[in-house]
Each structure stands twice: as structure tokens, then as C-alpha cells.
Amino acid sequence: MGDGHRYIPASDADRDAMLREIGVARIDDLFASIPAPLRLKGPLSLSPAMSEQELWAEMSRRARDDRQPDPGAQFLGGGAYRHYSPAVVDHLVSRTEFYSSYTPYQPEGSQGTLQAIFEYQTLICQLTELEISNASLYDGASALAEAVLMAERTTHGGRVVVSDRVHPEYLEVCRTYLANLDLPITTFGHRDDGSSDPEAARRALREGKASAVVVQQPNFFGCLEEIEAFAAAAREAKAQLIVAVAEPISLGLLKGPGRQGADVVVGEGHSFGVPLSYGGPYLGFIAARQSFLRNMPGRIVGETRDVDGRRGYVLTLSTREQHIRREKATSNICTNEGLCALMASIFLAVVGKNGLRDLAAHNHAKSAYARNRIAAAKGCSLPYTAPTFNEFTVRLPVPADKAVRTLLDRGMVPGIPLSRYFPGMDRDLLVCVTETNPRAEIDRLADELGRLD
């Protein structure tokens, strides 16, 4: 390679040769699949050459300029939930015994990690009340897509029927996974109370064969779904019921969807001790009935005995996976979110069964308080009457995106304007309240929302 720059080994001539080789005129063409509005249009507004020390000082100064509301004054949910994570979680996952860059293949060198994943799988089964689980997937949205693919592998319905109250980003990820498969998605509607309509699901199922019915619990608008009703509708149509759980703290209070008739439960596990981290890495989980074992995506850790009869853990049922089955594998995922799964296991172990129930009850109580306070605020109302967990929709007297900008100036993030996903829902705001929101901030939120018009 050339001699253009001390730290960048490729010279202009090298780059031109590489571009010619792959048949691309400019480097920018390689980024053509990224939508233009998301691409940087000019250089970063930094001096062309700063010393490391100057750059550090400059970026620290700019970070101080960013608006950083008090964490207690943020009411964002919509798939990413702020929860307190005990210090022990961070401490234990930072130990070098666990801090590995890749998933463990070799049982002789990785018993600790394998046992931790096995325990994670056990916890996910207990929470969802299903029989099997895997070593984790990328995130809640891709876990849902994997569940849909698994339903099609086992049922061959050729179609998926999805509630219009499922997280729109989960649906978008599913559409991406299914884009080149002959597997269309039919959406069905909801009732006036904000929950998905089982009769609408039945109508959609009667339009033709389907592999699965998908609902989210609690749904994207915060409302609780009648899982049993959807399980019955799915059974009548010989389809599977997939339940997506974006906020798994809710499982501390709600029945496990498996017990309510779900065949597969997927979800986002970051609420269990994994920081928000600006969107990731997160933790996708999947649990299913025993009969799906051979069709599960991803890694599975199993318990076994060594030659001396001692308990040990191994990656098992690998014939489902890409490194053995190539194009016939159940999924193209060949890894898991090992460290995030470990954080979830530690979180759940520390919080405990009663602790998770208390935490869920705390979330629900605070959210119910906020819901009542905001419903009584001037000009505000609740468009939906269905029961909620820690998230709910509020109808404001003004456009919600405008309200968010107004409250941001007062040091608050009141929620997510739903017009971002659903054109026409201009005045609807999705508000989430967790154990991290003090009562004083909830009161202040209600007061501020009551002053909007």
C-alpha cells in the first residue's frame, strides 16, 4: 500500500484501484443505500487539525452545551425503558472472566459463560411460562422477525397476521426480514379502548391461510391485550400465536403469555439491567413450546454430564445452525448478545422473584398516578380506556411534537409524539413512567401539560 498518510495506509492511487476493481466510481456511491437526508453533507464543524488534548477539551465544552434534562424528568418509553440497574450488574459483567469478545464454542474453556447463558435461558422460560429459550438474539424487533420465520417454517401458512398496535419499528424490521420472501403481512385493527381486536384478527385469518398471529403485550400504545382471546383465534385458524414483549418488567405482574396460550414469546430484554446506550446493544429474547426445539434460531446451551458424571454445559442442537447446515439453517444468526444476556441474568438474580413483582407493581402504581394526574390536567384527556402497565397515551390540546419542544425548554422530556409513527395522531403523546420518575417530577409533568393551550 501507498505512503499517503501515517495512519491511513491506502493512498489515493490505492483507493482508485480498489474502486475500479469493484466497479464503483466514487466512495460516496458505497453509501447510496443510506437515505440522503441521513448522510452528512459537509465536513464536521471542527478545526482541521487539533491535538488530542485540544479536541478533548473542545468536545467536553460542546457536551456541556447539550440539553440534558434531569433524568427524573424524562418520560420516554416506546420500546426503550429507563430502569435502575444495581451496581453489581456492571461490576460483575466487567470481570475479565466474562468479558469475552465472542460466544463460547469450547465447553472445556467456557463453563462459566455457558452456565450463565443456561441460567439466562431458564429465567426467560420462567418469565414467559414457556418450555424452551435460546442464548438470546440481537433485539426485540429482530427476535419478532425470527419468531415469524420460525412460524412459517413450522406451519407453512404463507402469511402473517399482525396487530396494528405492535411497535411500528418491530413491524418495520419484520418487513425488512420478509422483503424477499413470499410471506406477506396482513395487519388487523383495534377496539375503541386501545386494545387489539380479536374479532378483527379472526376476520384477517379468514382471508386465507396464515402461519401466525402477532400481538404485543402491553401494546405500543401502552394498553394490555387479551392474550387468551388471540390464542383462541389463532388455534381456530391453525396458526401460532406470537406475543412480543417490549417492556419485560411487565412480566413481574402479568401472567406469562405462555400460560395464556402463546406458542412463542419474544421481546426486548434491555429493561433487565442493560443501559439505554442510545439504542443498543440490546437483548432480544425468544421462548417457545418444546415442539419448536429443532426450529429455534440461534444458539442454545444445554446441560449435560461429563465422562465422570459431573454436570456441565455445552452449545447444543447445533445442527439447526449456519456453521453446520449452511443455507438450510433455521436462521442466519450465529451469535448472541452474551454480555447483555449476562446482565439480564444478574439483574434478575439480584432483584429476585418478589423484587421483580415489587418493581413491576411500583412501575404500575407510579404510572397509574401519572395517568390520573394528567387526565385531570386542563385540556388533556386519555383516548383509551384499556388497562395499562407503565405506559399510556395522552391526548393534548396542542400538537404533541410542539408540546415536546415547549417542555424540553423547561427541562422535561414528556414522551413520544405518536405522529412520528402515525400521521394523523398529531395530538397524541406516549408517556412512560418507571421507578426512576420521582413523584415531584410526575406532578410537574401534569402541571406543565395542563398549561399548554
- Under the rule (CB under 8 A), what is the footprint of other proteins? 156, 294, 319, 324-325, 328
Q: Give 217's contacts (C-beta < 8 A, 6+ positions apart).
A: 224, 225, 227, 243, 244, 245, 250, 254, 257
Q: What's the distance, Cα to Cα, between the start and end of the chain in Å?
A: 64
Whether the Cβ atoms of residue 77 and residue 393 lie closer than 8 Å to each other: no
Instruction: Tell me the three cell numbers of residue 242.
Output: 406470537
Whether the Cβ atoms of residue 330 and residue 150 lie closer than 8 Å to each other: yes
**Closest CB 246 distance from other proteins, rounded Å:** 33
Of 319 and 381, which has the nearer Cβ to other proteins? 319
Of 60 and 290, which has the nearer Cβ to other proteins? 290
Of 186 and 295, which has the nearer Cβ to other proteins? 295
The b-or-e profile of 427-452 (16+ CB within 10 A means b, else e) is bbbbbbbbbbbeeebbebbbebbbeb
Tell me 346's DSSP state: H
Q: Give 216's contacts (C-beta < 8 A, 6+ positions apart).
A: 163, 165, 166, 167, 170, 225, 243, 244, 245, 246
- Cα–Cα dist 414/351, whole Å: 28
Of 291 and 335, which has the nearer Cβ to other proteins? 291
- Cα–Cα dist 158/205, whole Å: 12
**Closest CB 263 distance from other proteins, rounded Å:** 17
**Closest CB 355 distance from other proteins, rounded Å:** 40
Of 295 and 419, which has the nearer Cβ to other proteins? 295
The b-or-e profile of 117-154 (16+ CB within 10 A means b, else e) is bbbbbebbbbbbbbebbbbbbbbbbbbbbbbbbbbbeb
Whether the Cβ atoms of residue 212 and residue 241 lie closer than 8 Å to each other: yes
Say what angle helices 439-449 and 400-408 make with each other, to 10 degrees.
120
**Closest CB 325 distance from other proteins, rounded Å:** 7
**Closest CB 153 distance from other proteins, rounded Å:** 10
Of the candidates 438, 380, 383, the residue with the CA atom closest to the CA atom of residue 412: 438
**Closest CB 210 distance from other proteins, rounded Å:** 16
The length of the chain, given as a count of residues: 453
Of 226 and 303, which has the nearer Cβ to other proteins? 303
Of 39 and 294, which has the nearer Cβ to other proteins? 294
**Closest CB 114 distance from other proteins, rounded Å:** 20
**Closest CB 319 distance from other proteins, rounded Å:** 5
Tell me 256's DSSP state: P
**Closest CB 419 distance from other proteins, rounded Å:** 46
Strand partners, 196: 190
**Closest CB 211 distance from other proteins, rounded Å:** 13
Of 181 and 324, which has the nearer Cβ to other proteins? 324
Residue whose cell numbers read 389463532: 234
The four Cα atoms 137, 141, 146, 149 give a dihedral, to 10 degrees, of 180
Of 224 and 293, which has the nearer Cβ to other proteins? 293
**Ramachandran bin of 216, using left for φ above 0, alpha for ψ from -120 to 50, beta for the remaining angles:** beta
